[in-house]
Structure 1
Amino acid sequence: MHGSPPGIFLREITLTDFSAVQANFTAIATAHADFAKASMESSKSYFEKLATVKSPQNFMELTTEFTKSAYETFVTDAAKISELYKAAFQPAAAKI
């Protein structure tokens, strides 16, 4: 807190970092929206393919492929979003 009263510290963070925080949260919201959109499109495609399955073997292959792809996408996007959150809070954390 650099020896300042808490009110001054909070005002300092708010005024100095507002535009950076706003940009970071916009990036976070965009990343969440992109993930949700891609997930919905992937699920829609999976269910369309699922409707044409003719055998249990094809069902298992399709489901395994979809599950693996969905998991990999989730892990990749979660790591990306985690980094965005870290970047968003870094300016404020540096002042503490």
Structure 2
Amino acid sequence: MTVIHDKMKAIATAHTDYAKSSFEANKAYLARIATIKAPDQAIQLTSEHMKSAYESFIAESTRIGGMYKDFFKPA
């Protein structure tokens, strides 16, 4: 039973860590975009942010998906 608890705790921690890092990245993006005056700079910054957000989402989804796979493998 402790193995199940440990795996569930690791999955929950991974979700929490991703949510925190995503929130911080979005907060930094909003702080930077608030200071930009030129539209082309805003578009460039938004493009970079969206690319980074997408890449981190895919990486974390793959990692957490692997954790779920390992969790349900014995079942």
Q: Indicate the TM-score class for this superposition, using the shorter chain for normalisation.
A: over 0.9
Q: Corresponding residue for 1:7?
A: none
Q: Aligned with 1:67: secondary structure?
A: helix
Alignment coverage as a number of residue pairs:
75
Q: Corresponding residue for 1:64?
A: 47
| Superposition TM-score, scaled by structure 2 size | 0.96
Bigger radius of gyration, 1 or 2? 1
**Which amino acid is the alignment partner of residue 17 of structure 2?**
D
| Superposition TM-score, scaled by structure 1 size | 0.76
Identity %: 43
Find the partner of 1:88 among 67, 71, 75: 71
Q: CA deviation at 1:33?
A: 0.2
Q: CA deviation at 1:90?
A: 1.2
Q: Is the 8 A contact 1:39 1:70 kept in 2?
A: yes
Matches within 5 A, 1:3-14: none
- Which portions of structure 1, spanning 4 or more consecutive aligned residues, are displaced by more than 6 angstroms? none
Matches within 5 A, 1:1-96: 18-92=1-75
CA distance in 1 between counterparts of 2:10 and 2:73 reads: 15
Q: Is the 8 A contact 1:28 1:84 kept in 2?
A: yes
Q: Aligned with 2:73: secondary structure?
A: helix
The RMSD of aligned alpha carbons is: 0.7
Question: After superposition, what is the alpha-carbon deviation per residue over 1:22-78, rounded to whole angstroms, capped at 9, x for unaligned?
Answer: 111111000000000000000000000011111110000000000000000000000
Q: Corresponding residue for 1:10?
A: none
CA distance in 1 between counterparts of 2:48 and 2:59 reads: 17
